[in-house]
Structure 1
């Protein structure tokens, strides 16, 4: 029985995107992941978390918001619709990565990993609404969005490098320091979700259950971890200089320091101005950018060689079917 070509294979036979297009498509997934984080924060900060009273519909009788729901319904529903835009962007990347010759399975698998993360987070978002903005589910919703951002950044990095075995650019203790920085930044993000779950911006004007911790104390712990992240970043900078590391890792650390400085200014502004919604939104954007910078620092400490040479006009081999959801688990930082 002859092999049946799936749609992605048919596209690959007729279209050969450039390596630059694939990288731009990967970057677009990063941008959309950041937008999802920020707009999700806007839903909470505008008290629109229950703008749509149920899920997957907006109301029990309507898929879309009604006039009676006002601006809150539009904001919540608009954020839901952004998931569709995100899926389109990820789909473009998957198609481009699949059509590119030579074929790189690691990229398409990472693209499918993003898709399934979006689907799972959509379900978590629905549970968030159905549970009346349970703060623990809200935290899980944000962390899942951060997971999507992590995979998107990894995909962007992989789209710009080759497939050789990773070659370390610095000694193991230096790499361990970098991964300690990643762990501290991850803990900072998790503690930030607890601050959100205990803080004054619950996501809806009605009384919403909050995490039962002292908000000021958990905020102080969050600040303490900010200083830990800054200290580790400075230590990594001096270490890279001491071992004469390549310019790229040192440049990435400087980028992180600049982002941390800007985020620190925003943090103090929101504290001394009584937590205005707009400034908190900027702070959420800053947290996403800090996480991106931290990941780029860690990934800059190894090299995988140059991109494989493309062969214009040469289609991908027939009979090689695309990765499916069951193959998503194979996505890695190879």
Structure 2
């Protein structure tokens, strides 16, 4: 009885989560991915990047922060502990997706991708501490967190749709314009990490190596890409309106436009007020919202049909296969009754 040794199978026999529960578990991983990004920014903005001076321990003689490390040690260690909280949410998602019948293999696989991204980023976080906040590794740390947020969004989207083959709701040129928008937004996020690596908020009060670039020039390039992304968003909305795309698709573009405008205002405020820590933190939160909004635009342009479980024909008859749901064939129309006259 090999199945009796499988903990996922044991859980599935005793617990059948609803589709709504799986969807909420997926959404929780999205929220936690954003929390990790924002709290990681708080570590840098409070100069707590080396609050724990080694890794995986906090100090050479203690796993947890000591009183000598003060608030900086508590902030850095607290951010490390959030990794375990995120793992718990991802673990709940994997278990729920595995226990749900029929099993959504796509969700469980993507859940495991999230888990290994978390583990990889935890190791990179340790390398950041051991290298004294190397700005290039710090940038990769943020980009991997963005990858985690991306996978979390994919899982959330997949939890609300079927496992059938995707079907485009817009024409191919519109999808290509959307891909261009996604690429420009990724470039915008990448430039944001370069601004961080060369800017004044190094992550620690001590002298820390920075990317040897003029951060104001990089900031200007970053702003230029903001206008590119903004222009592509406006162009996409007009195209969708011209081709009479579904209202839900157009609505996601308007939501993205609103987020971009708000993020632009925050960006200008932080620049002209001397980069105050609180405003920079809000801007980091805004970058997560921008990326989420872009992904929603991308996801809204296609749909996946639900698959129904259909018994396979065979000698045992106890196996099931997944086939697209199709309406039953009503058969030929009945012949009209002969007149009695």
Q: Is residue 2:18 matched to residue 1:31? A: no
Residues 43-82 of structure 1 aligned to structure 2 (within 5 Å): 43-82=43-82
2:122 counterpart residue number: 122
Residues 1-334 of structure 1 aligned to structure 2 (within 5 Å): 2-306=2-306
Cα deviation, residue 249, structure 1: 1.1
Q: TM-score, normalised by structure 1?
A: 0.91
Contact in 2 for aligned 1:166/1:302 (Cα 8 Å) = yes
Contact in 1 for aligned 2:164/2:307 (Cα 8 Å) = no
Aligned length: 311
Superimposed CA distance per residue, residues 226-267 of structure 1 (whole angstroms, 9 cap, x where no aligned partner): 000000000000000011111111111011011111101101
Contact in 2 for aligned 1:117/1:144 (Cα 8 Å) = yes
Aligned CA distance change for structure 1 residues 23 and 231 (closer, same or farther; 3 Å): same
Cα deviation, residue 88, structure 1: 0.4
Contact in 1 for aligned 2:202/2:210 (Cα 8 Å) = yes
Q: TM-score, normalised by structure 2?
A: 0.89
Unaligned runs of 5+ in 1: 310-316, 319-334
Contact in 2 for aligned 1:132/1:208 (Cα 8 Å) = yes
Superimposed CA distance per residue, residues 147-203 of structure 1 (whole angstroms, 9 cap, x where no aligned partner): 000000000000000011010101100000001000000000000000000000000
Moved over 4 A (4+): 1-4
Unaligned runs of 5+ in 2: 310-317, 320-341
Aligned CA distance change for structure 1 residues 251 and 218 (closer, same or farther; 3 Å): same
Please give the alpha-carbon distance, in whole angstroms, between the structure 1 residues aligned to 2:242 and 2:308. 33
Please give the alpha-carbon distance, in whole angstroms, between the structure 1 residues aligned to 2:254 and 2:64. 46
Please give the alpha-carbon distance, in whole angstroms, between the structure 2 residues aligned to 1:2 and 1:33. 35
Please give the alpha-carbon distance, in whole angstroms, between the structure 2 residues aligned to 1:175 and 1:300. 11
Cα deviation, residue 5, structure 1: 3.4
Cα deviation, residue 306, structure 1: 3.8
Please give the alpha-carbon distance, in whole angstroms, between the structure 2 residues aligned to 1:42 and 1:244. 44
Higher relative contact order (CA 8 A, sep 6+): 1
Contact in 2 for aligned 1:194/1:211 (Cα 8 Å) = yes
Aligned CA distance change for structure 1 residues 293 and 64 (closer, same or farther; 3 Å): same
Superimposed CA distance per residue, residues 69-121 of structure 1 (whole angstroms, 9 cap, x where no aligned partner): 00000000000000000000001111111011111100000000000000000
SS at match of 2:5: coil
**Rg: which structure is higher?**
2
Contact in 1 for aligned 2:237/2:250 (Cα 8 Å) = yes
Please give the alpha-carbon distance, in whole angstroms, between the structure 2 residues aligned to 1:192 and 1:230. 16
SS at match of 1:121: helix
Contact in 2 for aligned 1:12/1:98 (Cα 8 Å) = yes
1:325 counterpart residue number: none
